[in-house]
């Protein structure tokens, strides 16, 4: 298994091999290995059946040690007369694979070491957080006399199997990053958006009692943009800060769309990471003052034969970031839901958050890179107001999609007939004239310009000219028809950025 781990993170191939041949060879080797090893997990020999409920949560704040990080509650269902419940401290790493759940987290402990092909070793020194399909760890990478800190994202067994089956494309994303690196002769690619992406630098696999986990090595980042926003006055950013962040996100998207030929498909503030200005000594100093912690050991024989020891999520602070945010630099990350342009189909699993889904995803219309641009328009609104652009909730007579479409009409205008005619779910929500079949009570906020301009924070801190220009920029992102939506490159030339 160690040999395989070394193989997967190879950075050198035969010198006469082309980038495409090298990457394809490595990819096929990994897929062959996965087909051999991703069998039903070992299991723990437990007779119980169980389910998880409550939301899966990740560490939410880099500055608040008391932020809510509690994991799901597990209910053992094999004996109704003797119910058993266990609330996890964080991710349920004691559980093996169960159908329908994001189970199969690696039960990792501090001090464990992984190795790659080049002799690089990754010593796990801290947990940074966890999400639905992975946990993220701070590791000290050692190669010869060189040492530096990196982030290692370790996928669940369930998600690893999804990559092997072709349901997700994160391994293909890594391959495409490598090809761009190769074309640049392993120097930083010339495209200005590259430096605003969280690049998967290496990949290897790790084994646990649950099965095989794919692991991605990435550059260290600070908090996410939404976490940073929570700490701002009024939970909003000043306009210059938003412009700076959005411009960098658009640079990243132009690189992703044109160089990597991908749709990110999960653009949101929670996947935009703050780039740190810190060296190894800075991180060492912080770790000495803030050592890693674990929760007290717990016992649950129904779930795990030994003591259950969970490492606490302790994200790093935004080292080097000024309080004014004037030196804010961000990077678009989490490519777990990204889709290659040549793989788009009706069968592809969409991970775009419901509130950020554009009309084409809601109505079964052809989709592509414009879905990422739509999400940028929503982000501008959220960063400046602290509220979601579309206020959506289920009503006794309407589902969320019907309410969502109604809010779009209220804020953006009617849907063009030509667009609806090409939407497979049109009949579920619109009549033959293009009128919504079911309409909830209107918010009373009206078009986008009124809705945005009526926020007290906006009225007090932005001029009429800034409000008008910002709404015009959002409108370019939020065109109902995907083909009429501006591209990332076109938006970078928008006059909205003229004041920067």
Question: Same domain for 428 and 311?
Answer: no
SS3 state at 126:
strand
CB 22 within 8 A of CB 31: no
Residue 30: what pLDDT? 46
Q: What pLDDT does 97 receive?
A: 63
Whether 302 and 402 share a structural domain: no
The per-residue pLDDT for 58 is 33
Note the Cα 496 to chain centre separation in Å.
27
Residue 490 pLDDT: 98
Specify whether 121 is located in the same domain as 237: no
Beta strands in 351-473 (DSSP E): none
69 and 22, same domain (yes or no): yes
**Do 394 and 476 share a domain, yes or no?**
yes
- Say if pTM beats, i.e. exceeds, 0.95: no
Long-range contacts, 448-454 (Cβ 8 Å, 24+): 448/389, 448/411, 448/412, 448/474, 448/475, 448/478, 451/389, 451/411, 452/381, 452/384, 452/385
* Domain shared by 171 and 293, yes or no: yes
Return the structure tokens found at 496: 């909205």
CATH of the domain at 429: 1.10.510.10
Is residue 215 within 8 A of residue 154, CB to CB? The reply is yes
Same domain, 158 and 170: yes
Same domain for 165 and 27: yes
Domain that holds residue 440: 222-276+320-500
pLDDT attached to residue 71: 82
pLDDT (0 to 100) of residue 497: 96
Specify the 3-state DSSP secondary structure of 323: coil
Are residue 228 and residue 289 in the same domain, yes or no? no
The sign of the dihedral angle between the CA atoms of 392, 421, 253, 128 is positive
| Structural contact between residues 225 and 245, judged by C-beta atoms closer than 8 angstroms | yes
- Please tell me whether residues 245 and 326 are part of one structural domain: yes
What pairs with residue 485 in β-bridges? Answer: none
* Predicted pLDDT of residue 226: 95
- Burial of residue 127, with CB atoms counted within 10 A of its CB: 0-12 exposed, 13-18 middle, 19 or more buried: buried
Residues 345 and 366: their CA atoms lie apart, in Å, by 9
Query: For position 51, what pLDDT does the model report?
Result: 44
Q: How many domains does the chain have?
A: 2
Domain end, chosen from 259, 294, 315, is at 315
- DSSP H/E element including 22: helix 19-37
Are 60 and 3 within one domain? yes
Residue 130 contacts residue 84 (beta carbons within 8 Å):
no
Residues 281 and 271 in one domain: no
pLDDT number for residue 398:
83
Residue 250 backbone phi and psi in degrees, to 5: -65, -40
Q: What are the pLDDT tens digits along the chain (500 aa)? A: 333 333 343 333 233 344 444 444 444 444 434 433 333 322 232 333 444 433 333 332 223 323 345 688 887 666 666 777 889 999 999 887 654 445 799 999 999 999 876 678 999 999 999 988 999 999 999 987 788 999 999 999 999 999 999 999 999 999 999 999 999 888 889 999 999 999 999 999 999 999 999 999 999 999 999 999 999 999 999 999 999 999 999 999 999 999 999 999 999 999 999 999 999 999 999 999 999 999 999 998 888 888 999 999 999 999 999 999 999 999 999 999 999 999 999 889 889 999 999 999 999 999 999 999 999 999 999 999 999 999 987 777 788 999 999 999 999 999 999 999 999 999 999 999 999 998 877 777 899 999 999 999 999 999 999 999 999 999 999 999 999 999 999 999 999 998 54
Question: Angle formed by the axes of helices 239-258 and 370-385, to 10°?
Answer: 170
């Amino acid at each position: 298994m160690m040999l395989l781990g070394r193989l997967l993170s190879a950075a050198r191939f035969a010198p006469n091999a082309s980038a495409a041949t090298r990457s394809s060879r490595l990819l096929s080797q990994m897929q062959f290995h996965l087909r051999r090893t991703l069998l039903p997990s070992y299991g723990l020999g437990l007779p119980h059946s169980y389910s998880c409920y409550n939301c899966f949560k990740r560490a939410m704040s880099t500055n608040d040690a008391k932020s809510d990080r509690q994991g799901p509650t597990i209910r053992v269902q094999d004996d109704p007369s003797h119910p058993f419940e266990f609330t996890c401290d964080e991710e349920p790493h004691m559980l093996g694979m169960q159908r329908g759940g994001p189970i199969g987290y690696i039960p990792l402990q501090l001090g464990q070491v992984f190795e790659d092909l080049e002799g690089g070793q990754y010593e796990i020194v801290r947990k940074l957080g966890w999400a639905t399909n992975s946990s993220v760890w701070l590791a000290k990478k050692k190669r010869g006399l060189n040492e530096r800190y990196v982030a290692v994202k370790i996928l669940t067994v369930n998600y690893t199997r999804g990559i092997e089956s072709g349901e997700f494309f994160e391994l293909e994303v890594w391959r495409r990053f490598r090809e761009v690196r190769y074309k640049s002769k392993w120097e930083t690619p010339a495209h200005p958006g590259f430096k605003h992406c969280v690049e998967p630098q290496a990949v290897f696999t790790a084994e646990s009692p649950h099965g095989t986990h794919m692991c991605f090595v990435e550059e260290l980042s600070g908090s996410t943009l939404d976490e940073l926003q929570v700490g701002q006055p009024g939970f909003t950013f000043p306009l210059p800060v938003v412009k700076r962040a959005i411009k960098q996100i658009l640079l990243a998207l132009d690189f992703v769309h044109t160089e990597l030929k991908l749709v990110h498909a999960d653009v949101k503030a929670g996947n935009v990471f703050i780039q740190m200005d810190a060296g190894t000594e800075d991180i060492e100093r912080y770790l000495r003052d803030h050592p890693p912690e674990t929760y007290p050991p717990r016992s649950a024989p129904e779930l795990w034969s030994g003591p259950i020891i969970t490492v606490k999520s302790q994200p790093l602070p935004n080292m080097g970031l000024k309080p004014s945010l004037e030196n804010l630099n961000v990077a678009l990350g989490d490519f777990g839901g990204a889709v290659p342009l040549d793989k788009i189909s009706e069968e592809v699993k969409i991970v775009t958050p419901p509130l950020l889904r554009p009309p084409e995803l809601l109505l079964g219309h052809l989709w592509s890179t414009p879905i990422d641009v739509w999400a940028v328009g929503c982000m501008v609104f959220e960063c400046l107001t602290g509220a979601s652009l579309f206020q959506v909730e289920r009503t006794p007579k309407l589902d969320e999609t019907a309410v969502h479409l109604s809010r779009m009409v209220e804020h953006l205008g009617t849907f063009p007939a030509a667009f609806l005619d090409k939407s497979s779910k049109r009949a579920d929500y619109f009549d033959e004239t293009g009128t919504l079949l079911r309409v909830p009570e209107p918010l009373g906020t009206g078009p986008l310009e009124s809705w945005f301009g009526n926020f007290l924070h906006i009225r007090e801190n932005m001029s009429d000219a800034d409000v008008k220009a910002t709404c015009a920029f959002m409108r370019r992102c939020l065109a109902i028809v995907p083909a009429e939506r501006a591209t990332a490159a076109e938006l970078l030339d928008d006059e909205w950025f003229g004041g920067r």
